[in-house]
Structures are given as structure tokens and as C-alpha cells.
């Protein structure tokens, strides 16, 4: 059966409309990313969130950022946290990503240890960035959290990263 909407490489122009983020969300989703799980320690125990808003920012000082949505139940805890850990997930860690996209406080399915800054830490990540909170900026319906990277643990075995593109998990395939 023919598709209702013809597939075309012609870009569809539109203006982001306040109140309907569907098309904007799809357009943002055209940017394929890696996947992280951000963790912190709270008075209620360990907290985690799957996030692909991670970006490296500065080399000196070493700064990274990510952005939790204000609508998230976990937002206020992350904004209040003095330190946190960003795990860049390996391709075989999709279960971690799915788990911490659903909820934040249940760490029971996974082994974890307390990291150098106190945040819960999972083995197997391609990189762990242990950060002190450097700044928090308002950013529309999200907050921008900048982290000062104090300690890094990095795998160097060439393992593939978990990727997220247009709503789907996958893995990068090099050309050669
Ligand atoms: C691949 C992926 C990336 C995500 N990235 C972000 C993000 O950068 N910021 C964010 O606020 N939520 C992000 N989410 C959504 C959260 O993981 C989580 O689903 C959301 O916080 C659920 O709301 P709650 O905290 O109220 O339970 C992402 C989800 C997925 C699956």
C-alpha cells in the first residue's frame, strides 16, 4: 500500500508553535546523540535519569552540561545536587537507559558503587564524568546544569557507544 505521506528529502518549513511541541520534538530528534545516565545522591537515596542533552563545553576548566526538564519529578533534586556523575553508556547498556527513563530511585537491578564525588556509579560505561555543580541556568522549560569535571574514568577498549536517533536506540557503524 502506498504511504499516506510521500517520503521526500525536501525539507518541510515550519515555525515552532507555542503549546504544540510535537513537530519541534521531531525536528530536535533528527540530531542523533549518545546516551547518558546522570546520577546523584539525595536525602531519599540514589537518583538517576537517562539524558541525551549531555554536551562537552570547556577544556580549561573542564566543563560539561546537561538539561533536565522542569516538568520532571527528578528536576529539583538534580538542580539542588552539589555533585553528580554522568555515565556515557556503552552499546550493551540499553537496559540502564530504559530503566532510568522510566523512574529514578530504583537502583536494585544494577550493581553500583559510590563514586569519588559520592554519586552512584555503574561499571561498564564508556566514560564517567564525576562533577561538582558549577552553575545552573534557567533555559525555558528546562534547566541547564553545568558540571565541573573533577574525576574521569574512561574505557579505552574501543567498545561502541549507545546511540539515540529519531526515538530509537542503536549503535554507530564506522564506514571502514
Ligand atoms: C534517550 C533519552 C534521552 C533523554 N534525555 C533527557 C534529557 O536530556 N532531559 C530530560 O529532562 N529528560 C530526558 N529524557 C527523559 C527522562 O529520562 C525521563 O523519562 C523523564 O525524566 C521522566 O519524567 P519523570 O522524571 O517525571 O519521571 C530522556 C529519555 C530518553 C529515553
Residue nearest to atom 15 of ligand 1 (CA): 101
Distances (CA, A) of 107 to 82, 122, 166, 170: 20, 10, 27, 24
Is 2.30.110.10 the CATH number for 34-156? yes
How far is Cα 51 from Cα 82, in angstroms, rounded to an integer? 18
How far is Cα 22 from Cα 156, in angstroms, rounded to an integer? 38
| Residue 99 in contact with ligand 1 by CB distance below 6 A | no
How far is Cα 162 from Cα 90, in angstroms, rounded to an integer? 5
The partner residues of 143 in beta bridges, in order of sequence, read 138
Among 89, 96, 101, which is best to mutate for testing ligand 1, by the most ligand atoms less than 8 A from CB?
Answer: 101
pTM: 0.95
pLDDT in tens, the chain (176 residues): 455 566 789 988 889 988 789 999 999 999 999 999 999 999 999 999 999 999 999 999 999 999 999 999 999 999 999 999 999 999 999 999 999 999 999 999 999 999 999 999 999 999 999 999 999 999 999 999 999 999 999 999 999 999 999 999 999 988 98
Amino acid at each position: 500500500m502506498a504511504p499516506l505521506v510521500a517520503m521526500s528529502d525536501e525539507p518541510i518549513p515550519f515555525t515552532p508553535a507555542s503549546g504544540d511541541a510535537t513537530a519541534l520534538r521531531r525536528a530536535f530528534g533528527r540530531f542523533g546523540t549518545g546516551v547518558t545516565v546522570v546520577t546523584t545522591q539525595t536525602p531519599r537515596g540514589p537518583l538517576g535519569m537517562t539524558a541525551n542533552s549531555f554536551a562537552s563545553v570547556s577544556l580549561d576548566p573542564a566543563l560539561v552540561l546537561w538539561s533536565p526538564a522542569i516538568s520532571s519529578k527528578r528536576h529539583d533534586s538534580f538542580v539542588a545536587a552539589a555533585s553528580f556523575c554522568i555515565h556515557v553508556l556503552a552499546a550493551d547498556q540499553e537496559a540502564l537507559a530504559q530503566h532510568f527513563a522510566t523512574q529514578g530511585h530504583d537502583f536494585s537491578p544494577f550493581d553500583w558503587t559510590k563514586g569519588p564525588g559520592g554519586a552512584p556509579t555503574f561499571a561498564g560505561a564508556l566514560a564517567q564524568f564525576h562533577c561538582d555543580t558549577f552553575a545552573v541556568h534557567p533555559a525555558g522549560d528546562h534547566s541547564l546544569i553545568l558540571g565541573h569535571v573533577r574525576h574521569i574514568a574512561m574505557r579505552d577498549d574501543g567498545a561502541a557507544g549507545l546511540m539515540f536517533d529519531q526515538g530509537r536506540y542503536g549503535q554507530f557503524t564506522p564506514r571502514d
